[in-house]
Amino acid sequence: MRFPVLASTATLAASLLVAPNATAQRPGSDTTNVFTPEMKFFANPDPRIAQYEASQGTGTPVRSIGAVELSPDGKKIAWMVANEPVAGARRGGGMQLHISPALSPSPSEPAISAGDGCFSSLPRWSPDGATLAFVGTCADHQPQIYLRNSAGKVSQLTHIKGTLTSPAWSPDGSSIGFLYVENATRSAGALAAMKPPAGVIGQDGVEIQWVAAANAKSGEISVVTPKTLHAYEFDWAPDSKHMAFVAANPPGENTWWIAQMYTVATGDPASAKSILNPVTAGGSLHGLQIAVPRYSPDGRNIAFIGGLMSDQGSTGGDIYLMGSDGSGLQDLTTGRKSTPVYIAWADNDHIAFSEDQPGKSHLSVLGTNGKELLEGWTAPQSISSGRASLSFSFSPSAKMVAFVSAGPDKAAEVYAGDPRGLRAVTQINEHATGAASKTVSLEWENEGFHVQGWLTLPENYDANKKYPMIVSVHGGPSSEVGPGNAGGGNGLYAHLGYFVLSPNPRGSYGQGEAFVQANRKDFGYGDLRDILKGVDTAEMKYSIDDKRLGLTGWSYGGFMSMFAITQTNRFRAAVAGAGISNWQSYYGENSIDQWMVPFFGATVYDDPAVYAKSSAINFINKVTTPELILVGDRDGECPAPQSYEMWHALRALGKKTELVVYPNEGHGFSNPAHSADRTARTVAWFEDNMK
């Protein structure tokens, strides 16, 4: 529940599928032979949208940099970088995979590919550093694992049919594990479009994701985990004979929120046993979610991230440690005023980790005693290696870290080095033309909470003029707008003369688990007050017209765009994307009802009042704000009936509203034409109602 709605056409199309390791491995759309309703596109898009898009092709465009992987000895780096841009193009062509010296990567190194017309992704070094595995996707759109040996020869290892994600070498180099859905027709998870309903719901056509392994010499495939469990993440034990994995009963899109930690002998799926069940666990982990399991080098312990998380892949919480048999569970970062996200063992006694801080990303090394802490790199920039949220590539033997980083005023570059002496080791974008708009970090206090957000200023801002402002609420709610996407997608609105405020209210990552859990059983109240205080803060510092405020968001942000206008008349216009208008009816409509109990404290059948108090439909008579409502017709996370219900009520009460349903779209849109239409309608709605 974390997708944004404010984005320019090109940015939106590129940013919709934000789940880590997802883009190159997703199978083709399952819409073949499915009736597609006619979509009547917006007739008169604002010509300034096209003008803005055209302007992005002038100057020196930013080149995208993707996955980065340090070799085990820290001397080489495998990385993805976009081709040199063609004159007049907004950005370069497709991404290319290269191997370079770790401290001086250059895209002039020969590209590594599975063949002409193939897309390469997810590079992974063998434990001895002699072989690079990567995923290649060619004309048949079927991802396969390829190997590039030390002599530079590339060969195909697997010949599967289905989805293939998250490859990982076994420590002895004999196998490559990966997540696998055999004969998949859609991506695993709730973000892609749901299948059209048919047959016995919840039983027919359910696709289960397993951990599989390919023999590194023969390519022979074996399924490691039980075929009755849907696996989400895994890690090899140091002996290469066992795995730890996070899994739940299918359907997988619904049960990640109650997933357990299992271990299994790699040749015996029936040996799988649960070693941790957060639903029944005591202490601070009770009822929360788990992610990023990692064995210690000696195999005695497993560390992981545990916290209140609203989506798989959008990770955040505390660092937990337990024995590899599940014993001795302890929270190593309890009370920490920031949000650890990703971990890697430095040695048997230390864990390297990345975390969200207010307006910044941070690297540290934590002792397993929970006390020793070695502070590392901190900057108002992102951290990403292409593996997962805030992930980095780490070489314990070389004590080196590598990742791609960008910020509101810094284009992406590769950073590498000692965690306390990291520096940019590429200058790919040193001459790139920056955004015409400026984005700054704002911080404010409200009701005992310290809150942070981002403010994008209009182009050519003049303090002597008054400007309208759009408030864009992120999805989640367990998520955040970090420095890597601060201002991202807001350039069009800055070009049109708007401020854009992107707040991180209570419920967001960045300020510790207590801050994340502060909106439990309180959706739309405390977080809305944090947002409105942020609006006040922005207005005190900048020339913003309080009579021309707009509100928008997607997913949880869509809910806020529906609910907030029942609580305040401060906004002149609202655009709700994939929103939730009635938590009571939503409980029985969505494909992911298991996420709700951790946030509401009970099922809707046991405590309907807690759901009712945050339902916009129960306060609908108070609405005066015109609202545009947008949704995909096959959205499983925030089903279209929720948008129909809000639109129907507003229309019945004579309020200004409009509902647009996009055919064959899920929670994240896949059709660029629909994304462009969404942008055009959003711009027109704000322009028409915020004059």
DSSP of 236-262: E-TTSSEEEEEEESSPHHHHGGG-EEE
pLDDT surpassing 90 at residue 123: yes
pLDDT surpassing 80 at residue 682: yes
pLDDT (0 to 100) of residue 342: 98
Q: Is 538 part of any domain?
A: yes
Cβ proximity of 381 and 405 under 8 Å: yes
pLDDT surpassing 90 at residue 419: no
Q: pLDDT-derived band of residue 189, with 50, 70 and 90 as boundaries?
A: low
Residue 672: strand, helix, or coil: helix
DSSP state of 57: T
Helix axes 556-567, 526-541, angle to 10 degrees: 80
Question: Is the model more confident about 647 or about 108?
Answer: 647
Q: Is 464 part of any domain?
A: yes
pLDDT surpassing 90 at residue 627: yes
Taking only the tens place, the pLDDT of each residue in 575-621 is 999 999 999 999 999 988 999 999 999 999 999 999 999 999 999 99
Q: pLDDT-derived band of residue 568, with 50, 70 and 90 as boundaries?
A: very high
DSSP of 299-353: SSEEEEEEE--SSTTS--SEEEEEETTS-S-EESSTT-SSEEEEEEEEETTEEEE
Cβ proximity of 463 and 555 under 8 Å: no
pLDDT surpassing 50 at residue 477: yes
Q: Is 536 part of any domain?
A: yes
Mean pLDDT of 411-439: 88
DSSP of 638-653: S-HHHHHHHHHHHHHT
User: Length of the chain, please?
Assistant: 691
pLDDT (0 to 100) of residue 556: 97
Q: pLDDT-derived band of residue 202, with 50, 70 and 90 as boundaries?
A: confident
Taking only the tens place, the pLDDT of each residue in 251-276 is 998 999 999 999 999 999 999 999 99
Cβ proximity of 85 and 63 under 8 Å: yes
pLDDT surpassing 70 at residue 488: yes
Q: What is the dihedral of CA 311, 314, 319, 321, to 10 degrees?
A: 60
Q: Is 551 buried (19+), middle (13-18) or exposed (0-12) by CB count in 10 A?
A: buried
Q: Which residue(s) pair with 516 in the sheet?
A: none
Q: Is 621 buried (19+), middle (13-18) or exposed (0-12) by CB count in 10 A?
A: exposed
* Count of structural domains within the chain: 1
Taking only the tens place, the pLDDT of each residue in 138-163 is 989 999 999 999 999 999 999 999 99
DSSP of 593-629: GGGHHHHHSS-TTT-HHHHHTT-GGGGGGG--S-EEE
Cβ proximity of 300 and 286 under 8 Å: no
Q: Is 225 part of any domain?
A: no
pLDDT (0 to 100) of residue 7: 42
Mean pLDDT of 532-538: 98
CA distance 233 to 306: 14
CA distance 485 to 483: 6
Which CATH number covers residue 629? Answer: 3.40.50.1820
Taking only the tens place, the pLDDT of each residue in 273-311 is 999 999 999 999 999 999 999 999 999 999 999 999 999
Give residue 21's region: left, alpha or beta (phi > 0; psi -120 to 50). Answer: left
Taking only the tens place, the pLDDT of each residue in 429-439 is 988 877 778 99
The pLDDT mean for the chain works out to 91
Q: Is 526 part of any domain?
A: yes
Helix axes 672-689, 47-55, angle to 10 degrees: 120
pLDDT (0 to 100) of residue 33: 44
Maximal C-alpha separation, the chain:
72
Q: Is 618 part of any domain?
A: yes
Cβ proximity of 490 and 52 under 8 Å: no
The whole-angstrom distance between residue 285's C-alpha and the CA centroid of its chain comes to 22
Mean pLDDT of 477-485: 93
Q: Is 286 part of any domain?
A: no
Mention every residue, 6+ apart, whose C-beta is less than 8 A from residue 613.
Answer: none
Unique residue bearing structure tokens 């195909």: 156
Strand order in the sheet with 499-504: 439-446, 449-456, 499-504, 467-473, 544-554, 573-577, 627-632, 657-662
CA distance 142 to 498: 43
Residue 414: strand, helix, or coil: strand
Q: Is 81 part of any domain?
A: no
Q: Which residue(s) pair with 70 in the sheet?
A: 77
Q: pLDDT-derived band of residue 489, with 50, 70 and 90 as boundaries?
A: confident
Residue type, 491: G
Residue 18: strand, helix, or coil: coil
Percent pLDDT > 70 in the chain is 92
Mean pLDDT of 169-176: 98
- Domain carrying residue 569: 439-690
Q: Which residue(s) pair with 178 in the sheet?
A: 212
Residue type, 17: L
Residue closest to 205 by CA, chosen among 587, 585, 594, 591: 591
Residue closest to 511 by CA, chosen among 595, 438, 444, 439: 444
Radius of gyration of the chain (CA): 24
pLDDT (0 to 100) of residue 432: 81
Provide the token pair at 28: 């083709």
